[in-house]
Amino acid sequence: MMHGSKPNGSPTAHLLQSLLKLLAKRWKGVTVSVILVVGTIGFTQIELTGGERLNLIESFYETLRLFILSASGTPVDGSKIWLYIMWFLYLLAAALSATFLVESLRTIKQALDNPDRIVRKMKDHLILCGRGKHGRLIVSQVLARNPGQDVVIVEVDTSLPPFLEFATGMRVPVIVGDMTDAMSLRRAGIERARRLYAASGNDVANLNTCILAKECAAAADFKSVALISDVDLSRGVSDLARSEGVVLVNPYEIAGTNLVEELWSMMGSSNGGISFVVVAGFGRFGQMFTKALLRKAGDDCKLSVAVVDRMATKKVEVFRRSFDIGDRSLSAIDGDVDDPRVFETAMTRGVSGTSATEPIVILCTDNDTANLNTALLLQECWKVTATVVTRLFNPPPGFCKLIAGSRIHAFQIPKLIEKKLPEECF
């Protein structure tokens, strides 16, 4: 016989656990059954106001009346224990009835406030597929131009509540489902919708959703807009999208174009204009900014652009193949953005050129800390005021405080997107 060890569990213990779990799930039904049994017996053991004892059938009927607060009287005579029990049942039955009433009202409210029911009444509404931040920004701007426009969100996340607050005081129904599934789009009222915005983080899914939406939609002026951030994919499917009537929108291109307009208005008309720009970080935003900058400068401008990136040479080669920039000056400097030697090369290149103005430095890597450190370094060593572009929607107080105490220009991509949307988004 072994001592000091405990059995994993006897059949009796398992049975008891199972009974407890069953009671926890169905406690209301068990409670009602207990009230009916105990109350039926109890009414035969006591006297109610009026001095009359009840038989078994009358006791059962009187017990049922406890749940609707219409008992014939109250306990006045009988053994003390049964009087206590019956008074407890009076209170318990009333509390249980109130619980059932509250839950019934909640169920009715949920049925009336069901997203599918609300959507079935909508017409000429907007459908936002995916809750990506860029998509919400764009749809918010569309709503600002068209106040009162109904919106439906299609999202695969099952943890979402049935309604979300999209704008102040605006409750938007959420259809939980796959946006690439026709059934989900029909639940969102695609046949009656005016616009659909596919704004998930998956570019391919966004494109497929828009093509499917065009097939399902019935409105003559229906427009589907796909957010695609990948430059190569956008270029490769542009002809397909155009043939299917799908509008492709790159949020980074919107932000880059708006930043170029900001810089042009700030510096383009002073100190001889913009002649030398350093783009540090040549990712999706950096490429879209450079594309917009060269387009804005035109063929006659003596603008020189230097790209600083770990893979600057390779990325610039791909950029030249992707976009027709002619023989415009676009050079590459391979290296880390926060390496002082790299920027020493860039600054020397700017000084040795024809530029008579301070170079414009755009720091737009994915690393906000590296961008800030480099901006402070440029300010200290070369007296250059850098422009930091961050992807943060809500910068922390420390970031804002550091920017406020320096000569650094800071722009948030979300704010740049909000500033001005291309007309094709509307």
CATH of the domain at 386: 3.40.50.720
Q: In the numeric block, which tokens belong to residue 342? A: 């790299």
Whether 16 is covered by a domain: the verdict is no
Q: How confident is the model at residue 7 (pLDDT cuts 50, 70, 90)?
A: very low
Question: Could you give the CA distance from residue 113 to residue 401 in angstroms, rounded to a whole number?
Answer: 45
- Give Cα separations from 96 to 20, 32, 104, 242, 366 (angstroms): 20, 8, 12, 63, 58
Residues 332 and 258 in one domain: yes
Give the number of other CB atoms < 10 A from CB of residue 351: 11
Q: In the numeric block, which tokens belong to residue 128? A: 């936002």
Whether 133 is covered by a domain: the verdict is yes
Pick from 226, 257, 231: nearest CA to 244? 226
Domain boundary among 230, 249, 268: 249
Pick from 311, 130, 267: nearest CA to 206? 130
Helix H or strand E segment including 142: helix 133-145
The pLDDT score that the predictor gives to residue 236 is 86
Residues 317 and 402 in one domain: yes
**301 pLDDT above the threshold of 80:** no
Question: Could you give the CA distance from residue 193 to residue 180 in angstroms, rounded to a whole number?
Answer: 16
Q: What is the chain's alpha carbon radius of gyration, rounded to the nearest angstrom?
A: 35
Q: Are 275 and 356 in contact (CB under 8 A)?
A: yes
| Number of domains the chain is built from | 3
What domain range is 71 assigned to?
Answer: 27-105
Whether 12 is covered by a domain: the verdict is no
Whether 4 is covered by a domain: the verdict is no
Residues 335 and 259 in one domain: yes
Give the number of other CB atoms < 10 A from CB of residue 7: 6
The pLDDT score that the predictor gives to residue 231 is 85
Sheet with 195-198, edge to edge strand ranges: 163-167, 170-176, 151-155, 126-129, 195-198, 223-227, 246-249
Domain boundary among 249, 268, 300: 249
Percent of the chain with pLDDT over 70: 90
What size, in residues, is the chain? 426
Q: What angle do CA 218, 119, 128 make, to 5 degrees?
A: 70
Residues 209 and 81 in one domain: no
The pLDDT score that the predictor gives to residue 2 is 43
Residues 245 and 259 in one domain: no
Of the given ranges (20-24, 76-80, 333-337), which has the lowest mean pLDDT? 20-24
Residues 213 and 261 in one domain: no
Question: Could you give the CA distance from residue 278 to residue 296 in angstroms, rounded to a whole number?
Answer: 16
Of the given ranges (100-109, 171-180, 361-370), which has the lowest mean pLDDT? 100-109
Helices and strands of the chain, counted as H and E runs: 16, 15
Q: How confident is the model at residue 271 (pLDDT cuts 50, 70, 90)?
A: very low
Over residues 348-401, the pLDDT tens digits come to: 766 555 445 678 999 999 998 899 889 988 888 888 889 999 988 777 777 777
Percent of the chain with pLDDT over 90: 42
Task: Please name the residue that has the structure tokens 């370094």.
Answer: 377
Domain boundary among 249, 270, 304: 249
Instruction: Identify the three-state secondary structure at position 307.
Output: strand
Residues 96 and 232 in one domain: no
